[in-house]
Amino acid sequence: MKNNFFSIVSGRRSLRFQMIWTFLASFFTGSLVSISIPVGLLFDIPISMIAFIGTFAISFVLYTRHTMKYMQKLSEGLTVISGGNLQYRIPVIRQDELGTVAEHINAMAEKLETLIEKERQVEKSKMELITGVSHDLRTPLTSIIGYLELLKEKSYRDEAEYERFIGNTHNKAQQLKTLIDELFEYTRLTQSDNKLELQTIDLREMLNQMLVEIEPLAKENEISFDARLTERSLFLEVDPEQIRRAIDNLLMNALKFSLKPGIIRVSLAVRSDHVTISIENEGALITKEQEEHLFDRFYKADDSRTNMNLEGGAGLGLSITRSIVEMHGGQAYLKHKGGRFLFAIELPYEATI
């Protein structure tokens, strides 16, 4: 407290006191000089007064030169920053108000730099979105147009080939619909005004029902489920539709990339402050770089690993899952080792007595 008071009074942390001490020092210096000057007049003005005024002015300029130089640095720094160099920082070498101004200018430049970088990332994301959508929609659409042209020109040999063309066109149309649905869902989730419709549900019952519904598709792809759920009901306040979508994306991802025949292990565990849904399967090995990007939108580790009996997506499924879980205050993550994949969803949970 005493040190802080002394710093302020001495002028180290107060520009006002600096000016007061500078004025007093200049006045004292001018007075000493004027006293030592002999009595006399110059242009009807006492020489001692001329000496006092001159000495006072020179002393004041000398005593304030560091302050004026620093103010010039502030001015030059603002000029550089306003010219577009947001990486420039004014050196903070004072503890008074001018030092505070320098800190604020630097903070402003840093914030502007962050905002501009964020805008660049948003613009980059928009371009990636357009590129990704164009690429993923063009493939099935090209196939649909190709099959329709063959059908229009009746370029098929028999009824069986005709039926095959129709079936392939329908499958590509369904794939196109899936891509559009994923894109719509992703853009809806990333909107800032998107709100959750929270309800209290039995998460265990929902997960068990989803496994029953997906079992026929799993059997068709030679996949079986090993479910390890909690023995009791687990009530959680979530958006049922969104959480169902997040879990379904992980289940479908496991079906697409599991080795055949294979087993998908699904577990539901309760901790003190969160609930964990884990979906584990064995698949083809991926690199560390691929693992780090699996939750990125439009990212596909390897299209050749996809099960051909299942519809391919736009690479938005895992990204959608992560967005949904984060909106609920949780996290989605992957643990991968030696071709064993464990995707997990953690949701906040408050135990009820």
DSSP 251-290: HHHHHHHS-SSEEEEEEEEE-SSEEEEEEEEE-----HHH
pLDDT of residue 256: 86
For residue range 64-121, what is the model confidence (pLDDT) as tens digits? 888 888 888 888 888 988 888 888 888 888 878 888 888 888 899 889 988 888 888 8
CB 185 within 8 A of CB 245: yes
The helix/strand/coil state of 345 is strand
**The predicted structure's pLDDT at residue 278:** 92
- If DSSP codes are grouped into helix, strand and coil, which group holds residue 235? strand
The pTM is what? 0.55
> Which helix (H) or strand (E) is 35 found in, with range?
helix 15-36
What is the pairing mode between strands 45-46 and 41-42? antiparallel
Residue 303 in contact with residue 312, Cβ under 8 Å?
yes
* Whole-number pLDDT of residue 305: 43
Average pLDDT over the chain, rounded to an integer = 80
| Token reading at 270 | 């309760």
Enumerate domains of the chain plus CATH numbers: 15-112 (no CATH), 124-190 (1.10.287.130), 199-348 (3.30.565.10)
**What is the pLDDT averaged over residues 326-330?**
89
CB neighbourhood size of 27 (10 A): 15
Whether the pLDDT of residue 1 is over 60: the answer is no
- List, for residues 136-175, the tens digit of each pLDDT value: 788 788 889 998 998 888 888 888 888 998 988 998 888 8
Amino acid at 336: H
Least confident of 51-60, 202-211, 275-284: 51-60
Q: State residue 319 phi and psi, 5-degree precision.
A: -65, -40
The whole-angstrom separation of Cα 309 and Cα 302 is 16
CA 180/CA 186 separation, integer angstroms: 10
Under the banding of pLDDT at 50, 70 and 90, the label for residue 190 is low
339-350 tens-digit pLDDT? 888 999 999 987
pLDDT at 265: 92
* pLDDT reading at 352 higher than 70: no
C-alpha closest to that of 181 among 301, 298, 313? 313
Most confident of 48-52, 106-110, 287-291: 106-110
Report the distance separating Cα 136 and Cα 178, nearest Å: 11
